[in-house]
Structure 1
């Protein structure tokens, strides 16, 4: 098998991850819907523990934290006015931490996230949350397109197994890893765990 060079290599973008001291933490869709019911993800609880650890480190350092919450309307698995759509208690926002409510996979699409980040003077982002192949992926790509330097923490994200349109099933592990590899080709630095994010 021939392994190609990444586009990051070719473009000279490098693989230096964000540091807490000069970045903002973006926690994407850490909602109860991913912990139970039809949207429950493989590995969601360990990923939330990793998100919790990142959140504590950013708070302790006095660095910006922005929570993203997906809203798909009343009665949906993403009903923000119901417990199922609420942000999980282990990473619940504190007073003063902005919550950006979105209606699209990208956290930048028709939201004030870009304005918030520009107001903070932040260009480096640490991204964690759910799901790896949808909103994490879409947000990291949009961050790149908006001129930000994004780092995605691999084990602070998770996804679910899906039917393969070519036949069979793509496991959550396979989909998760492929999504991270795709991001790491160009759009973001991907680190396996939060311990790779220096203070």
Structure 2
């Protein structure tokens, strides 16, 4: 049996990981909601530490950073008026960094993200954040449709256990599967140390 190839390989349309010197960093939903409670994600400590490294490197290089955050319901998940909707400590935007609020998994839907990225002029995005299987992958798919080249930082993302057919899919399995799907036809994968 032959070794399977990605759609990128079969189509010849793959690309190398972005260089931080000419890319925009997009951080998705780095919010306290994911630190504890029903949406606590597996591997958050490592993922947050890696995002902090990416942010520090991007700031040192003078590269733009976009902070996407989910606007939930008052009193509910991602409460925009409560603590759980706030940015994770150490990942708060600086005054000159862009914040994009979203209502749905895609950071492009109903927001000004596309306009902002077009104004920046770079097609290369370095994407990280939460959750891998939801807002991260949905945003990466949308970015591809809009002509951007995404580098997805797999060790700067995290997800959670998911219910499935009366059982549970582990966060590790969900993460591996989602990264394989992204690498097939939507993004080039990288780890933090390769980018900073």
TM-score by length of 1: 0.95
Offset, 1:14: 2.3
| Unaligned residue ranges in structure 2 (runs of 5+) | none
Q: Per the alignment, in what secondary structure is the counterpart of residue 16 of structure 2?
A: coil
Describe the SS at the equivalent of 1:89. Answer: coil
Following superposition, the deviation at residue 190 of structure 1 comes to: 1.0
| Inter-partner Cα distance in structure 1 for 2:24 and 2:46 | 22
- What is the match of residue 104 of structure 1? 104
1:128-170 per-residue CA deviation (whole Å, 9 max, x = no partner) reads 00000000100110110000000000010000001112x4211
Q: 2:123 is matched with which residue?
A: 123
- Misfit runs of 4+, over 3 Å: none
Q: CA deviation at 1:3?
A: 3.7
Tell me, in whole angstroms, the C-alpha distance in 1 between the residues paired with 2:58 and 2:181.
27
**Residues in 2 aligned to 1:11 and 1:197: alpha-carbon distance in whole angstroms:** 25
The number of equivalent residue pairs is 196
The 2-side partners of 1:144 and 1:196 are apart by: 22
Deviations 1:78-127 (A, max 9, x none): 11221101011111000110110000101011100000000111110000
Q: What is the aligned partner in structure 2 of residue 150 from structure 1?
A: 150
Could you tell me how far 1:2 is from its partner in structure 2?
Answer: 5.2
CA distance in 2, matches of 1:76, 1:46: 26
Rounded to whole Å, the distance in 1 between the matches of 2:186 and 2:91 is: 26
* Partner Cα distance (1:19, 1:139) in 2: 20
Q: CA RMSD in A?
A: 1.1
Q: TM-score, normalised by structure 2?
A: 0.97
Is 1:35 the counterpart of 2:52 in the alignment? no
**Which secondary structure state, in structure 2, belongs to the residue aligned with residue 80 of structure 1?**
coil
Gaps of 5+ in 1: none
Partner of 1:188: 187
